[in-house]
Amino acid sequence: MKYLLLIFLAVANFCAYAQNPNWKNTVAWKIYDMGDIHGLAFSLDTLKGFPSGRLEDDSMHRYLRFANTLPKDKYPLWNGEYIATYKKGGKSYKMDFSVYGGFFRDEYSNTLFIIPEPQASSLYSYLIRKLKLIHRK
């Protein structure tokens, strides 16, 4: 009986770990132009002082549906990032996208995710296009 309980807990833990957040419940996406400043440690309040642009919810949902969690023991090296925010349940959260490799950190779940190719390249093209539009307003 003890072994059955351990197996059940292991399977439940795996299922909970393998599930991705429901990105369709996220709205009001924004990207921030941080210039050459690394914003990984910045809070939401600090981001308000930087220029930002709107990201379409449907576009972000389309890209993020390909995301898979990275194992907790794998932590990729960061060499620059795109900073975005979104709202879920009326509360704002930050998301840090690496500039390469297809990985990102979600503040809401405090989890690292990775988007495979070619979707990662499409996401980067989209984010760069939106960043360029910020200063054309």
Comparing 127 with 14, the larger pLDDT belongs to: 127
CB burial of residue 25 (10 Å; 0-12, 13-18, 19+): exposed
What pTM, to 2 d.p., does this model score?
0.79
Answer whether residue 101 is part of any domain. Answer: yes
Answer whether residue 14 is part of any domain. Answer: no
Could you give the CA distance from residue 70 to residue 63 in angstroms, rounded to a whole number?
17
CB burial of residue 68 (10 Å; 0-12, 13-18, 19+): exposed
CATH classification at residue 55? 3.30.1490
Number of domains in the chain: 1
The stretch 7-21 carries a mean pLDDT of: 45
pLDDT digit string (tens) for 74-130?
A: 777 777 889 999 999 999 999 999 988 899 999 888 899 999 999 999 999 999 999
pLDDT digit string (tens) for 26-71?
A: 999 999 998 777 777 788 888 988 999 999 999 999 999 999 998 8
